[in-house]
Amino acid sequence: AEDEARRLAEEERKKLRAEQEEARRLADEARRLALEERRRRAEEEEAARRAALKKKTFLRRGEGKRAAEQVKVAEVLRREKTENRTKWRERRDFTRAQRERHAAEEESRAMHQKFDAPATGADQLLGGIGGGGGGGRSPSSEQPRRPATAQERGGRGSMFYEAAPFEQVVPSSSFRGPQANQMARQQQQQQQQH
């Protein structure tokens, strides 16, 4: 009876161990399947993410050949822009230099005109400082100078001695108004220039 009891106990133990082994094997299998499922899902998500990124990138940059063409076009445009900028800078510098040269010439011409201009009445009054009219001879050199009166020095209708070269100096404002004086002066200057 003891042997029978021992044999039954041994079988019970074996059966229990077999059940535990089976349970462990099933648990391991379930764990392995779950792990594989998780890995597969992760790979799918990664692939989808990569595909979306690729699509987005290609939409932004253009695929292969088109992207290369765009790079080429961008390079050409950049080079043209640089060349244009250089060209415009050169043109601007040239224009500025030309403008400065013209301004200098104008200034020089104005200076010469100022010093070579025929003597005006005021210059004659002051002894021909402005020089020049009628072969460099101012009428005031032909007539003795006298001190200018207050009326001649300034004020309304101040009298000027107006005369073409080699003519008698006449205090013209004694019988003409200031506008007539101005017209006469312009006529004399035109005569002297011709």
- Which residue range(s) make up the domain with 108? 63-116
Calculate ∠ Cα 100-105-111, nearest 5°.
Answer: 125
Calculate ∠ Cα 65-54-36, nearest 5°.
Answer: 140
What total number of domains does the chain contain? 3
Q: What are 60-75's pLDDT values in tens digits?
A: 555 667 777 888 888 9
Identify whether residues 127 and 159 lie together within a single domain: yes
Greatest CA separation for the chain: 177
Highest mean pLDDT among 50-59, 90-99, 172-181: 90-99
Final residue of a structural domain among 83, 116, 149: 116
**So what's the pLDDT on residue 111?**
82
Residue 173 backbone zone (phi > 0: left; psi -120 to 50: alpha; other: beta): alpha
**So what's the pLDDT on residue 184?**
74
Identify whether residues 56 and 75 lie together within a single domain: no
Q: What are 99-135's pLDDT values in tens digits?
A: 999 999 998 888 877 766 555 555 555 554 544 444 4
Final residue of a structural domain among 84, 116, 148: 116
Q: What are 7-52's pLDDT values in tens digits?
A: 999 999 999 999 999 999 999 999 999 999 999 999 999 998 888 8
**So what's the pLDDT on residue 144?**
52
* Phi and psi angles of residue 144, each rounded to the nearest 5 degrees, phi first: -60, 140
Q: What are 144-168's pLDDT values in tens digits?
A: 555 555 555 554 444 455 545 555 5
Final residue of a structural domain among 42, 61, 80: 61
pTM: 0.26
